[in-house]
Structures are given as C-alpha cells and as structure tokens.
Amino acid sequence: MSAEQQAYESTIVMDGETMGATIRRLAQLIAEANPDIEALVILGILRRGRPLAERIAAQIEKMTGRRPAVGSLATTLYRDDFRAGLRRPKVHGETQFDFSLDDRTVLLVDDVLAAGRTIRAALDEVMDYGRPRRIQLACLVDRGGRELPIQADYLGWQVATAPNEWIAVHMKEIDGEDAVLLERRAPTPLRQEGAGG
Amino acid sequence: MSESTQIAWNRKDLTGIEPLSRGEIELILDTAPQFVAVSKRQSGIKKVPLLQGRLVVNWFHEPSTRTRTSFELAAKRLSADTLSITASTSSSVKGETLHDTLANIEAMHSDVIVIRHNCAGAPHILAARHASHIVNAGDGRHEHPTQALLDAFTIREHVRKHTSNPEATLDGVKVAIIGDVEHSRVARSDIWCLNKLGARVCLCGPATLLPMDVERMGVEVTHDLREAIHDADVIYALRIQLERQAKALFPSIREYIRLFRIDSDSLQSAPAHALIMHPGPINRDLELATEVADGPRSVILEQVSNGVAIRMAVMHLLVNSGNKSGS
C-alpha cells in the first residue's frame, strides 16, 4: 500500500476551511432551489458522498430550521464495469434509507464527478426504488473527463485534470481530515509496475 | 473496512468448499449482505441488473424443491434468464451422456450451470471440460457448498448481533452437528467450511451414522447428545434419511428419538443462546421436535432467506469477476 503511494505525488488544492465554505455555499444553493424542504431527500453515494450529504443537510437545517432526510446509495449493484470485466467487485456498504422516494425531490450527493458512470448507476438504482418528482445532483469537485451526458446541478469546484491526474477528497469522518488533493502519477516510475497495477 | 485487504475471486466454478481458502469463503460471505437487502426491499423492484441477459440453467438429477427454487430465485433477482432441466425431462433417460447433454446446453450459450447429481464428482468432471461456470448444488454424498456457505453466513450474522461486533468471525464458535453424518453432503461441506473459518465442530449420532475415521476431518466425536450440546453455540440437526432406514442403520426410530432428538427436554443441557439449525426438509418430531423447530431459538427460515442471497453472491462473483479459463 505505502509502496504504491510513493509512486504518486499529491498537492492540496483545497484546505479544510475552503471545503467548509464550499459545502455551506452548496447548501445555500440547494435550499434556495428547494423552498419546500419537506419534499427534499438526500442520498449520499458511498463512501464519501454519505458524510458530505450529512454536512449539507446540517447546513440546510442551520439556514432553514428544517433538516432533510439523508440516506446512502451504494450503486455497486448497478455499475456497468462489472460486465466489461474492468473492475473487481468492491463493496463499501449497503444502500440504506428509510423513506419513500415517490413524488420527492431526490438530491444525489457525491464527492467527485468524473466519467459520470457512477451517477448513471445511481439514477438506475433510484428508479428501482420509486418514482421521484425530480432528481438533482450536487458534487464537491468536477474533475472533467465525462463519458456520459451528465452534469451537476450544484457544483463546488471545477478543475480540468490530465489523464495521469486525479482528485482525492478526504473527509474527517472517514480520513481524519478535510482536504481536496490533486494526485499525479510520478513521471518516471521508480519500479516496474506489476500486472495488477 | 476490509476493502484494501479484500482478496480477489479467481475461480471459474464453485465445485466444493474443500478447495477454497478462508479468504475466498469470507469474500463470498462479505458479498452477501447487499443481496439480503435487495430481497428485503419494501418498495420498488426486488432485483438488480448484475446478470442481465445471462442464461442460468438449473440442471437437477435428484429431487429438490428448496435448493432449486433458491437458485432460480437468486438468478432471477440478478436479472438472468433461467431454464430448469430435471432428470425426468432430460435426454439422460434416453442414454445421453452428461458431457453430451451439457455440450448441447452450451450450444445455446449458457453462462452458468447449476447442477445436482447423485454421483459424487459429477460437477468437477463437467467443470474441467466445459466453459460455462459450474455451481455444485449437491453431488452424491460429497459436497453441497452453497448450503455450507448459507449456514456459515447465518451463524456469523447471529454471532455479530449477539456480540454487537459487526466484524466478529466464527473463531472459537462451537457447532454441534447431530444425526446422519454418514449420508450427508451438507455435513461434509459444513465441516470443511466451519473448520476453515475457525469454528469448533462436534459430531454426534449413532455410531452407524458417523463415518469411520471422521476425526481425521478435525472434528470432535461423541455418542452422547448432552455432551455434544452442553457448550454449543449452534445445534445443527441433520435429516434422518428414512428412505435409507431399510438398511436398519439404527435399531429403531423410537430409540433414535430417545437418544438423539433435539427437543425441549434435551435442550435443557444446552446454553440459552444456542441457535437451532436444520438444512431441511425436516422430519418433524423425529430428529427435531416441533416445539423446537418453531421455537424462538430456531433460525431455520433465516437459513432459507439467506440461501437466496448467498447464491446471488456466488453467481455474481463467478460471472462478474471469475476466471473464464479453468478453475
């Protein structure tokens, strides 16, 4: 694990304070667009979308006095890359929420928007649970590289990344700190990469 | 979370528990909870598209209701197409060989073949020669791997609930398996599975129903029911196969009941938390008393529910991450 990390360099591109302010701004935009908070439910996409969803809900409660219901969406069972053999099944937890999606505004929350395939899977999963009035998407970072026609309704920060770069969001609840990192594969790998890389 | 330590699934087939590593068994168990949740969905659609457009063929050469239904439902909840072939409707009655029948099924582009056969080793022979993913649903007296997996999963869920530790394992858990071990493929797979997971297994029954040298499998053996269950966390009653009683393997059914039946009387020697399990179908009031089978300690119907989730997990792992060329 640590040997693998050494092959990358990473730069902090958003510190904890800026991240807090970005989440507050996202919550404000969401609250303004959804005056009827009772009709709003939030589903955080596992793993880091879940704590992000909790924080957005807490901010909305501070602003409006009402807290939208929050649940988790796994999306694992709806991914399209299993069939292509591109990815080993990796389970981060289960889809969990105890409210109906029928006739509600469902806000999907994820930390990073890239290809858009996770969101495609999330849309299919939500549709299997009911018929929402509308589905919206909030993301902390859009790093580009879309492979499907999907856009965020509420976006914290947009950055174009090169093919050898990606964005890692760290959240206190999971990683012990709040930060957004830009990670880059080192230009000359120090060791020969194995087939499993 | 075990995500970084999670091992990969590299097998084309599930022919038995014996060749699996502890890590592979735990990967299957860890894959199952999300499928339990799919079957429990209150509203919405109780299926996921992981095997959409795949063909799963249930090929049963022995009677079975529970296992066949469970595999069929598991395949359907993964959105696969399913076909059922039973021995009486297949060309085996016309003398066709297993290989020829399977070659014909495969010519219709099957993806998964679930097979039950009265000959031990039949799934292994087919797995070695055919490209489809083969799942053993019971071969002779040899193995019944998905039953062992659903049993281990059911026990683990209860250990985790009982200890309030969501990561608890089966290490040190004592399972007493009571009854006809000799003719039971369930017992054989359970012993391998539970041993690999660190549980202690104790077998109990009349000497004629316990295989010779069974201690070599790493189990304790006793002929005294009270001794077997006094410190057991799980009491697993096996079905007495009455159809074999013609061979008079024990003196009388009355004597078996007196010595080995799990009832409220014999259960007084067992710890209060001990779970009651049975692979089904039950001979009520023979190996298991009705008041116990339907009592608060019984998790027999949970075994059935978990069976669907375990079979979904197995088929998902085989098809979506399995090795396509050889086991």
A130 lies in which domain range? 16-160
Q: Cβ–Cβ of A77/B50 closer than 8 Å?
A: yes
The whole-number pLDDT of residue A190 equals 53
Q: Each residue of A32-69: b (16+ CB within 10 Å) or e?
A: eebeebeebbbbbbbbbbbbbbbbbbebbeeeeeebbb
Q: Is residue A187 situated within a structural domain? A: no
How far does B103 lie from chain A, in Å, by closest CA? 24
The whole-number pLDDT of residue A187 equals 63
Q: Is B33 on the interface with A (CB under 8 A)?
A: yes
Interatomic CA distance for residues B56 and A30, integer angstroms = 45
- pLDDT of residue B322 exceeding 90, the answer is no
The whole-number pLDDT of residue A42 equals 98
Interatomic CA distance for residues B183 and B82, integer angstroms = 30
Q: What is the DSSP-derived secondary structure letter of residue B96?
A: -
The whole-number pLDDT of residue B4 equals 39
The SS3 of residue B8 is coil
Q: Which residues pair with A139 in a beta bridge?
A: A110, A155
Q: Cβ–Cβ of B49/A94 closer than 8 Å?
A: no
Calculate helix-pair angle for B300-321, B22-31, nearest 10 degrees. Answer: 110
Share the mean pLDDT of chain B.
Answer: 92
End-to-end Cα separation, chain A, in angstroms = 11
Q: Cβ–Cβ of A130/B43 closer than 8 Å?
A: yes
Q: Cβ–Cβ of B1/A90 closer than 8 Å?
A: no
Nearest CA in chain B to A84: B320
Does residue B33 contact residue A94 with C-beta atoms inside 8 Å? yes
Query: Count of alpha carbons within 13 Å of B186, Cβ hemisphere only?
Result: 20
A 44-83 residues with CB < 8 A to B: 74, 76-78, 82-83
Tally Cβ neighbours within 10 Å of residue B221: 17
Please give the distance of CA B326 from its chain centroid, rounded to a whole number.
Answer: 23
Q: Is residue A153 situated within a structural domain? A: yes
The residues, ordered by sequence, that sit 6+ positions from B113 with a Cβ below 8 Å of its Cβ are B57, B59, B102, B105, B126, B130, B132, B133, B134, B135
Which tens digit of pLDDT belongs to each residue from B172-203?
Answer: 999 999 999 999 999 999 999 999 999 999 99
Range B145-299 classified under CATH 3.40.50.1370: yes
How many domains, in total, are found in chain A?
1
Predicted TM-score of the model (pTM) = 0.88
- CA-nearest of B185, B181, B240, B239 to B214 is B181
Q: Cβ–Cβ of B34/A83 closer than 8 Å?
A: no
Place of tokens 């549980």: B199
Q: What is the DSSP-derived secondary structure letter of residue B224?
A: -
How far does A192 lie from chain B, in Å, by closest CA? 21
The full set of domain ranges for chain B reads 22-144+305-321, 145-299
Nearest CA in chain A to B34: A94
Interatomic CA distance for residues A39 and A105, integer angstroms = 6
Q: Is B49 on the interface with A (CB under 8 A)?
A: yes
Sort out which chain A residues have CB atoms less than 8 A from B45's CB and list them: 128-129
How far does B74 lie from chain A, in Å, by closest CA? 14
The residues, ordered by sequence, that sit 6+ positions from B222 with a Cβ below 8 Å of its Cβ are B202, B203, B204, B228
Sort out which chain A residues have CB atoms less than 8 A from B3's CB and list them: 90-92
Interatomic CA distance for residues A56 and A42, integer angstroms = 9
The residues, ordered by sequence, that sit 6+ positions from A103 with a Cβ below 8 Å of its Cβ are A39, A131, A132, A133
Q: Is A20 on the interface with B (CB under 8 A)?
A: no
Which pLDDT band, with edges at 50, 70 and 90, does B3 fall under?
very low
Query: Count of alpha carbons within 13 Å of A41, Cβ hemisphere only?
Result: 22
Mean pLDDT of B299-312: 98
Rg of chain B over CA atoms, in angstroms? Answer: 20
Sort out which chain A residues have CB atoms less than 8 A from B37's CB and list them: 94-96
Torsion of CA B13, B41, A101, A78, to 10 degrees: 0
Pairing state between β A165-170 and B200-204 = unpaired
Q: Cβ–Cβ of B48/A128 closer than 8 Å?
A: yes
Q: Is residue A142 situated within a structural domain? A: yes
Pairing state between β A179-185 and A8-14 = antiparallel
Which member of B38, B45, B316 has the closest CB to residue A89?
B316
Which tens digit of pLDDT belongs to each residue from B16-72?
Answer: 999 999 999 999 999 999 999 999 887 789 999 999 999 999 999 988 889 999 999
Lowest mean pLDDT among A11-25, B81-95, B151-165, B225-239: B81-95
Fold of B22-144+305-321: Rossmann fold (3.40.50)
Q: Is B6 on the interface with A (CB under 8 A)?
A: yes
CATH of the domain at A52: 3.40.50.2020
Q: Cβ–Cβ of B34/A74 closer than 8 Å?
A: yes
The SS3 of residue B67 is helix
Q: Cβ–Cβ of B321/A88 closer than 8 Å?
A: yes
Q: Cβ–Cβ of B37/A76 closer than 8 Å?
A: no
Which tens digit of pLDDT belongs to each residue from B209-256?
Answer: 999 889 999 999 999 999 999 999 999 999 998 877 656 778 888 999
The whole-number pLDDT of residue B86 equals 83
Sort out which chain B residues have CB atoms less than 8 A from A92's CB and list them: 1, 3
Q: Cβ–Cβ of B34/A129 closer than 8 Å?
A: no
The C-alpha angle A166, A168, A171, rounded to 5 degrees, equals: 170
The residues, ordered by sequence, that sit 6+ positions from A39 with a Cβ below 8 Å of its Cβ are A103, A104, A105, A133
Q: Cβ–Cβ of A1/B6 closer than 8 Å?
A: no
Q: Is residue A166 situated within a structural domain? A: no
Which member of B1, B43, B321 has the closest CB to residue A129?
B43
Does residue A118 contact residue A80 with C-beta atoms inside 8 Å? no
Does residue A7 contact residue A181 with C-beta atoms inside 8 Å? no
Q: Cβ–Cβ of B320/A89 closer than 8 Å?
A: yes
The whole-number pLDDT of residue B278 equals 98
Which pLDDT band, with edges at 50, 70 and 90, does B138 fall under?
very high
Q: Is residue A70 situated within a structural domain? A: yes
- CA-nearest of B255, B232, B237, B236 to B245 is B255
Q: Is residue A3 situated within a structural domain? A: no
The whole-number pLDDT of residue B327 equals 40
HEC per residue, B227-280:
HHHCCCCEEEECCCCHHHHHHCCCCCHHHHHHHHCECCCHHHHCCCCCEEECCC
HEC per residue, B139-172:
ECCCECHHHHHHHHHHHHHHHHHHHCCCCCCCCC
Nearest CA in chain B to A93: B34
- CA-nearest of B21, B81, B16, B23 to B47 is B81
- pLDDT of residue B284 exceeding 80, the answer is yes
The whole-number pLDDT of residue B252 equals 86
The residues, ordered by sequence, that sit 6+ positions from B288 with a Cβ below 8 Å of its Cβ are B237, B261, B262, B263, B276, B278, B282
Q: Cβ–Cβ of A91/B30 closer than 8 Å?
A: yes
The whole-number pLDDT of residue B217 equals 92
Segment B161-168 long-range contacts (CB within 8 Å, at least 24 positions apart): B162/B273
How far does B295 lie from chain A, in Å, by closest CA? 30
Asked whether this chain's domains B22-144+305-321 and B145-299 adopt the same fold, the reply is yes
pLDDT by 10-residue block (mean), chain A, 197 residues: 61 95 97 95 96 97 96 91 59 86 97 96 95 97 96 96 92 95 74 45
The H-or-E segment that residue A193 falls in is none
Q: Is residue A60 situated within a structural domain? A: yes
Q: Is residue A38 situated within a structural domain? A: yes
How far does A163 lie from chain B, in Å, by closest CA? 24
